[in-house]
Amino acid sequence: MSKKKREAIVALHAEGCTTKDIEKWLKVLIRTVQNVLKRYRETGSTDTEVAVRALHALRRSLKALKKAWNEIPMEDIRAAIDAVLTRLDACIVAQGGRFEK
């Protein structure tokens, strides 16, 4: 599909057109419209080469984020959760507010 057509899909969608309308007007499959819009949301580009590189970078970042999350010790997570009520009370006291249980 041409870059011009991908840009038209994004522009029409930005103007509020539905995917079904875009499918009819541009004579492309609705799945193609959905894929172009999804790729645009993920990468911010209608250029397929740029989009593919950005998507790969996004996937690498997500993989690194998941790895980092899994390396957080469970004790640290539990301590943070347990500290929430104490921190809420401190916030309320600092603002002079009241917290009902």
Domain boundaries in the chain? 3-70, 73-101
In terms of pLDDT, which residue wins out, 27 or 1?
27
Query: What is residue 44's DSSP assignment?
Result: S
Question: Which amino acid would we find at residue 26?
Answer: L
| pLDDT tens, position by position, 41-94 | 988 888 877 777 888 888 999 999 999 999 999 999 999 988 888 878 777 777
Q: Determine the Cα–Cα distance for residues 35 and 2; give it in Å rounded to an integer.
A: 14
CATH class of 3-70: mainly alpha
At residue 10, the pLDDT reads 95
Q: Which two tokens stand for residue 97?
A: 């507010």
Residue 96 has pLDDT above 70, yes or no: no
At residue 94, the pLDDT reads 76
